[in-house]
Amino acid sequence: MSAFYPGKRLSTKGERCTVRYVGEVKGKQGQWLGVEWDDPTRGKHSGTHEGYEYFKCRSSHPKAGSFLRPSATWDQSRTFLEALRTKYAAIETGDNAAAAQNAIRISGKEAEEVGFEKIARQQAQLHNLRIVVLDDLLVRAYDGTETTSDGLDHIQEICPNITDLDLGRNLFETLSEISDICDRLPKLKFLRLDANRLRDVAGRAESTVFASGLAQITSASLDHMLCTGEELETLLGRMPSIRDLSASSNQLGSLDDCGLPYTLTSLTLEDNNFTSLEDVKRLTKSSPLLKTLNLKNNQITSTFKDQQRTESFTLPETIVDVDLAYNNITSWGIINELASTIAGLKHLRIAHNPLFSSLRSADGKPMTSADGYMLTIARLPQLETLNYSKITDKERLNSESYYLSQIGRELSLAPKEKENEILCAHPRWKELCEEYGEPKIERQTESGIDPNSLAARLLECTIYSPAAAHLSTLPNEQNPLVVEIPKSCSIYKVHGVIGRRLGLEPTQLRLTLETGEKDRVDMATWNGVEAWDSDEEEAESVGEEWKEREEELVAGTRPLGTFVDGQKARIRVELKAGIGIRECRDL
């Protein structure tokens, strides 16, 4: 294999990258390397230069790629044992400290200890290591020519007790390299490979006595590796004992093409591209033992991919712990459906979703995050903790009572024909009514006004006077006076209210209610059965035998509301003979 090839891992000035292209670039002299940076903000483009695509980056970042000369200064890679000694051999243990107290001194100066004793103490220190972190140390297992004594063969001899190993952010290219290291660590259980960009995740068929290396792993972190679903499935196929997996930040949008291990009990898929719970429905078949599912910081908005809902689904009933924080949930739909989609759910994190920053009550009033907390509890009867807080019996009682009252309020503010639609959005309505009793529903009138509100007890009266042509202080038809008068006001009081507003004596006013309806001219004298005549229809059509229906509001004790149906009235004010103007204050 040549010195540079697609998939080769390199590092320059501490910045890691993967070769995606080797060759010429139009308009430039010589050979170039097209690379994709591990830190995508380090690049300049996506692999396209002057309109021509030379390579594609795995990262979705628009500027993850660059062109570099092969002659650039490259950082030297390390073997596993070189990295191990660099980080851990020089650390002074308690035994080393004790030895330092008994160090040989010549002329007041401590003599440096050399030879087999110092080496033996360092080796003993490495031998006892259990948790080892070798991230970002330019590690590779070998470069294809590893035959030195510092290679793979001495790993088990030098550090056989490692149980937890972090090899993240290094220069591995194939799963085989990683497997060859793990094969020589007989006690290894926890493996972290974060941000390693492998060109080959299949590895090779196991044929040595160290075949159990990856097979014994029970917990793995594969974050930021930019694995596809198929690659993730292939890689995990080498870990048949895995129970705890993190595959965050891999740009995964669905698990439809990724069969995860049957043995999984905990799965973390943070910071991917999932938009619905349906994107992970394959877990029901692939991982029926799952208990914890972390989908934090995705783009989830709903249960289903689209509103058509071609078929229902459920996630494993064994799941009890779910994290949906920092998603894009804007409605209660997905929360209502959690009870049936994840039947065993007991612990939920759902904070920092847009829904809880824009909550409104049925009458449009803003609600607090505490209200959102209560409404979430009430919608999920099986929940035991919410956002890490234990739900007490008192909290559940208060939350469910509050939720039921909110549903009742929503029903009261909506017309009867909207009832089924509203109740469909509250699947716990019937259950809560059986538990706490159905709240009293006091619906709005046809006008859309709450009959118990102040607005329902007021009439909007539009007042004008034909006399405005002679008396400029009076309102005319073009600029009427609009006054709100309680329906319970007697006509006596109505005269007084209008008189004061117009600056006139109430006794000099004649008030006429214009109903907006029409009566036939002869209805006042008609006392018998009227025969139908088609000519009368024609007369009606041209308005010859009809007149506006009016009713004089004669001062008395009768309430104004008994004259009017609805919330508005039009009153004409006429002046009786001999009226004078007086000053009066406004109401």
Helices 393-412 and 369-379 meet at what angle, rounded to 10? 100
Provide CATH code, domain 76-94+115-217.
3.80.10
**Domain regions of the chain by residue span:** 9-68, 76-94+115-217, 455-522+533-575
What 3-state DSSP class applies to 17?
strand
Query: For position 562, what pLDDT does the model report?
Result: 87
* 524 burial level (CB within 10 Å; 0-12, 13-18, 19+): exposed
Number of H helices, E strands in the chain: 14, 24
Query: For position 410, what pLDDT does the model report?
Result: 92
Task: Kindly state the DSSP code that residue 303 receives in the 8-state scheme.
Answer: S
Report the 10 Å Cβ neighbour count for 11. Answer: 18
Give strand ranges (E) for 195-278: 219-221, 244-246, 266-268
Cα 11 from chain centre: 37
* Pick among 2.30.30.190, 3.40.50.300, 1.10.10.60, 1.10.287.3510: CATH of 9-68: 2.30.30.190
Do 9-68 and 455-522+533-575 show the same overall fold? no
The bridge status of strand 164-166 relative to strand 385-386 is unpaired
What 3-state DSSP class applies to 265?
coil
CA dihedral 83, 85, 86, 89 (to 10 degrees): 150
Report the 10 Å Cβ neighbour count for 359. Answer: 15
Query: For position 549, what pLDDT does the model report?
Result: 83
Query: Whole-angstrom Cα distance, residue 195 to residue 222?
Result: 7
State the pTM of this model: 0.72
Query: For position 457, what pLDDT does the model report?
Result: 83
Query: For position 207, what pLDDT does the model report?
Result: 43
Query: For position 451, what pLDDT does the model report?
Result: 60
Parts of the chain with a pLDDT under 50? 92-102, 104-107, 109, 111, 113, 145-149, 207-210, 523-543, 580-587
Q: Per CATH, which fold does 455-522+533-575 belong to?
A: Ubiquitin-like (UB roll) (3.10.20)
Query: For position 309, what pLDDT does the model report?
Result: 66
